[in-house]
A = this chain, B = another copy of it.
Amino acid sequence: MLNNSHYIDKLRSSGLRPTKQRIKICEILFNTEKTFHFTINDLVKKISKATNDKISLATVYNTVHAFKKKGYLKEIPINSDQSYFDTNTSHHHHFYDENQNDLIDIDDADVEPVKINTRIPGKKIKSVEVLVKVEDAE
């Protein structure tokens, strides 16, 4: 509960009202040592484990999108039936294990800077993301 003032400031300073739902979701997403990946469904499960006051599904979606918009979460580009989000918003990349259906971070330092030798006129690069698909070695 002590940390909450931090989240309240964070939310308020980014123009989001610090409601109890948002603070609770902050606690679940950002009170961890390690960053992690999750789907909306994962988050809903974590919330129901962490609290008795349930948060409506619509609010979970709204909050995740609001946090993504503010840059507190990143969406991970993989084709899947559901969206994956990442609490690690630093620049990094991913392994995607096609056998286990599992996402694993690749530290930015472990990928040599990707050089793109072409541009689109009138557009600026927002991000460069590398997805390394892996499978069981036989």
**A interface residues with partner B (beta carbon < 8 Å):** 75-79, 83-84, 93, 95-98, 104, 106-107, 109-112, 114-118, 120, 122-137
Q: Are B115 and A112 in contact (CB under 8 A)?
A: yes
Q: Are B110 and A122 in contact (CB under 8 A)?
A: no
Q: Are B126 and A116 in contact (CB under 8 A)?
A: no
Bound state CA distance, A119 and B125, in angstroms? Answer: 28
Bound state CA distance, A97 and B123, in angstroms? Answer: 8
- Known: A76-B79, A124-B135; 8 extra A-B contacts, CB below 8 A, are A77-B131, A98-B126, A106-B118, A112-B114, A112-B117, A123-B137, A125-B133, A126-B135
Bound state CA distance, A109 and B115, in angstroms? Answer: 11
| In the complex, chain B residues whose CB is within 8 Å of the CB of A127 | 132-133
**With known contacts A78-B77, A133-B126, A134-B125, A97–B116 Cβ distance under 8 A:** no
**With known contacts A129-B130, A130-B130, A133-B129, A116–B106 Cβ distance under 8 A:** yes
Q: Are A95 and B122 in contact (CB under 8 A)?
A: no
Q: Are A122 and B137 in contact (CB under 8 A)?
A: yes
| In the complex, chain B residues whose CB is within 8 Å of the CB of A126 | 98, 133-135
Bound state CA distance, A104 and B125, in angstroms? Answer: 13
| In the complex, chain B residues whose CB is within 8 Å of the CB of A124 | 134-137
